Chains A and B, each alone.
Chain A
Amino acid sequence: MAERKTAKSKYTADRQIPGAFEGETVTRRRFMTGTVHTAGAVATAAIVLPAAGFALGPVFEEKEQPWQPVGKATDFTPDTYLPRTITIEPRIGDVGKSTVFVRRFNPDVDTEPRDQYNEFIAISSACMHLGCPINFVAAAQRFICPCHGGVYDFVGKVAGGPPVRPLDRFYTRVENGTVQIGRRFSVNSELERFSPRDPGEPLDGVGQYMYPSRPSMRKLPGT
């Protein structure tokens, strides 16, 4: 084996390439290939990145959730819920509204610590299984979902069926004798507050890490 292959020199001049410069390591072919690939990548990125950003923008935009009045503080009792309509999305008229069930804090049944945001309990009407519209059935003191069999007890904890966490709630406060409703928050089975999640996303155990909170919607800081 006289002509054993030796490792090629990295200098083009050593490889007997015609017209090679002293100290040059990149062949013209390699340079052209690299240029074409780079230009192609830049052109693709110039189309794909803005388009993706355009479509994904709303995912990172925080939504405004102003406080809105739902009635006089004297309207509500601790024993039963009253349905109230609030606006979730002001730009689309009637389809931007939603129903909340409101009552006064009831020390007999409410176990969570009292603070300035839960003098009144406002419960979202979205079932925490997959978001169907629940109703409060006064005779049974239960929230009942018409879709897949979800049932919640008086404070909104799951009493039966597939829902993965208690019903979502809204922050409430009282201004000049009027109850106001703020942003939504989610609760785990101990009724601890979490940033709002979508239905179907459990918050107990590892749930809160498997279904992280989104930049588009947060709970009030410090609560």
Chain B
Amino acid sequence: MPKLKLPVPPMPGRPAPKRPGKTYGPQTPREHGREAGTSAIGWIDERTSLSGGARWMMFRKVPKGTNWFYTLGSATMFAFLAQAVTGVFLAMYYDPSATGAYDSIRNINNEVFLGEFVHGMHKWGSSVMVILVFLHMGRTFFFGAYKYPRELNWVIGVVLLILTMTMSFTGYLLPFDQRSYWATIVGVNINGTGPFVGPYLSDFLRAGPDFGATTLSRFYAIHMMLVPGAIAALMGFHLYLVAKLGTTAPPWLRAKSPEKLREEKVAR
């Protein structure tokens, strides 16, 4: 079987010396366009030197044997991005007040063009994201991928899991229907059962001793500013560590001993 040639990372090569009798530079409009794109990227890279980072990220090697289980992490990130986008558009029509929230959601569902579709994507996207988070965590657990040297990445992952659950909890008060309201009451009271600090914590969450005028906006601020910011930052760090330490190889894969490799080379 012929060996597939893997693409070589593009390295800045030296252009061939100019020769007489040939025209240089872009000729057709298509070539002009390509030239413009290249020079724009070159302009940015000259000022930011980002291409090195991009090359480091994209052309790192992924160990042999990685399979579809290894896409769960990036799928989770993608689900988060989808949530972020649909969330921003929902925020354009949403009214975070106890008197107006329910009607604004009904307006999104019934009046706004594609409103129910975007609302549905956000709603079901949250379920999909929770499932993906758990699958990704399960993969990491059963493959032993949290062990040396990736302990810190596991810890960040657990924080991300907690933040995701916080997102789903604060998010489901926002439509302000019966289920939202009572789930929030129960959730806040669950906080309150923590000894000593619990009562103050639930006062803080509700902005008072009872469900009040600013409870909903508090949850809204947590749901769309505080936690997403934290998730985005931690996701970036999580990803950086993945790129730095490398994706794990499947645990059942054993590297050939260096002697064997040498023998193969000699035989060839």
Contacts and interface: CB of A to CB of B under 8 A. Distances in A.
Contacts of A147: 186
A216 interface: yes
B44 to A, nearest CB: 33
Contacts of B99: 92-93, 95
- Pick from A59, A89, A196, A217 the residue with the most CB of B within 10 Å: A59
A201 B210 contact: no
Contacts of B188: 131, 198
A95 B209 contact: no
Interface in A94-133: 95-96, 126, 130-133
B181 interface: yes
Contacts of B193: 200-201
Contacts of A214: 199-200, 203, 209
A88 interface: yes
B241 interface: no
B214 A131 contact: no
Given A201-B193, A201-B199, A212-B196, A131 B210 contact: no
A147 B188 CA distance: 15
Contacts of B202: 198
B20 interface: no
Interface in A33-66: 55-56, 58-59, 61, 63
B140 interface: no
A214 B197 CA distance: 10
B212 A211 contact: no
Contacts of A201: 192-193, 198-199
Interface residues of B, number: 30
B185 A131 contact: yes
B189 interface: yes
Contacts of A198: 188-189, 192, 198-199, 202
A88 B98 CA distance: 14
B211 interface: yes
Interface in A73-95: 88-89, 91-93, 95
B190 interface: yes
A17 interface: no
A131 B200 contact: no
A197 interface: yes
Nearest to B210: A88
Contact of A92 (B98, B182, B190, B203): B98
B62 interface: no
B196 A210 contact: yes
Contacts of B189: 130-131, 198-200
A212 B213 contact: no
Nearest to A210: B195
Interface in B98-138: 98-99
Contacts of B176: 95
Contacts of B213: 89, 91-92, 96
Interface in B60-115: 97-99
- Pick from B97, B192, B200, B210 the residue with the most CB of A within 10 Å: B210
Contact of B209 (A63, A92, A96): A63
B33 to A, nearest CB: 48
B15 to A, nearest CB: 50
Contacts of A59: 200, 203-204
A110 to B, nearest CB: 27
A56 to B, nearest CB: 6
A14 B99 CA distance: 74
Contacts of A211: 192, 195-196, 198-199
Given A147-B186, A210-B195, A55 B204 contact: yes
Interface of A: 55-56, 58-59, 61, 63, 88-89, 91-93, 95-96, 126, 130-133, 147, 196-201, 210-214, 216-217
9 contacts: A58-B208, A88-B211, A92-B98, A93-B99, A131-B188, A132-B185, A132-B186, A199-B192, A211-B196
Given A58-B204, A198-B198, 19 more contacts: A58-B203, A58-B206, A58-B214, A59-B200, A59-B204, A63-B209, A63-B210, A89-B210, A89-B211, A92-B98, A95-B98, A96-B211, A130-B185, A132-B182, A196-B209, A198-B188, A201-B192, A201-B198, A211-B195
The 6 nearest A-B residue pairs measured at CB: A92-B98, A217-B209, A198-B192, A200-B193, A58-B207, A91-B213
